[in-house]
Amino acid sequence: MLVTASFDDPVLESLDALREAGAEPVRADASADPLAVLAGTCGLLVTGGADVAPARYGAPRSPFVTEVEPERDAFEIALLRAARERGLPVLALCRGLQIANVAFGGTLIADIPHALGERATVPHDVRDPGQQEHWRLVPEHVVRVEADSALARLLGTTRVVTSAAHHQAVDRCAADLRVVGRTADGIVEALEARFAAPFWLGVQWHPESNRADDDGASRALFRAFVEACSRTPG
């Protein structure tokens, strides 16, 4: 399966999580032809990283968005649209959820504290100094999952404590996607597809980092994704 990432990010935890679940992941370079690299793959994992450029969703420049990767934005949008057309399983993590929402016509909140003001009651960007990977669970960051969602069935619960390492979030959800998880302050934390797909899920947290910490929830997510990929002709 194909894994996308920032140019300088080896995404070791994501690759390890996929291998642990039985997959043979291949990291994709954003300078490649998206249709060429998608050919022959059985699934797509879109990982975290820099902010999505506001121009991608028709918004003006923001002082809160200082690090973007326009080439990666274009690459992943093309991959996500092509994966949908080909009926491939997709798992989108953190920034991955955001770029997926943009790819299908949604918009983003440029900065959660600025947008919510006093309504920002949940910590969404909790990082240890110098932290490059292994995003820890944040007890106050509780995601409430819709009971009738595939995510709830997969996790076996409608309440999950997750990591929190984002200052952007979904604003207007794309029409072809469905919000299935939020925190108490209303921030979108999980999306599913309204269109037919063997597996399609976006989560705003980092399950690749929490496999040993969350009573099996993250491993269940990766296992379900890999199982869907194994049933998809590559």
- Alpha-carbon gap, residue 199 to 169, rounded angstroms: 22
Predicted pLDDT at 40: 87
- For the cut 70, the answer to whether the pLDDT of residue 60 exceeds it is yes
Beta carbons within 10 angstroms of residue 39's beta carbon: 12
Calpha distance 193→77 (Å, rounded): 15
How far apart are the C-alpha atoms of 206 and 135, rounded to whole Å? 7
H helix intervals, the chain: 12-20, 34-38, 70-86, 95-103, 112-116, 150-155, 217-230
Q: What is the percent of the chain with per-residue pLDDT over 70, rounded to a whole number?
A: 97
pLDDT tens digits, 95-106: 999 999 999 999
- The chain-wide mean pLDDT, for the chain, equals 94
Catalytic one among 42, 76, 206, 229?
A: 206
Contacts of 194 (CB under 8 A, 6+ apart): 175, 176, 177, 178
Q: Which of 94, 189, 192, 229 is catalytic?
A: 94
Average pLDDT for residues 191-207, to the nearest whole number?
Answer: 97
CA–CA gap between residue 164 and residue 141 (Å, rounded): 7
Distances (CA, A) of 6 to 68, 69, 70: 10, 8, 11
State if pTM tops 0.85: yes
Q: Which of 69, 76, 189, 208 is catalytic?
A: 208
Q: Amino acid letter at 23?
A: A
What integer pLDDT is reported at residue 214 of this predicted model? 92
94 tagged catalytic: yes
Shortest CA distance to 190 belongs to which of 141, 125, 145, 228? 145
166 carries an active-site annotation: no
Other CB atoms within 10 Å distance of the CB of residue 210 = 24
Using alpha carbons, list the distances in angstroms from residue 156 to 64, 77, 143, 148, 197: 37, 31, 13, 11, 21
Average pLDDT over residues 153-174: 96
pLDDT of 63 higher than 70: yes
pLDDT tens column, 111-141: 999 999 988 889 999 876 555 567 899 999 9
Question: In the structure, what pLDDT confidence band is assigned to residue 229 with cuts at 50, 70 and 90?
Answer: very high
- Confidence band for 9, pLDDT divided at 50, 70 and 90: confident
Q: Is 167 tagged catalytic?
A: no
Structural domains in the chain plus CATH codes: 2-113+125-230 (3.40.50.880)
Judged by phi (left if over 0) then psi (alpha if -120 to 50, else beta), residue 141 lies in beta
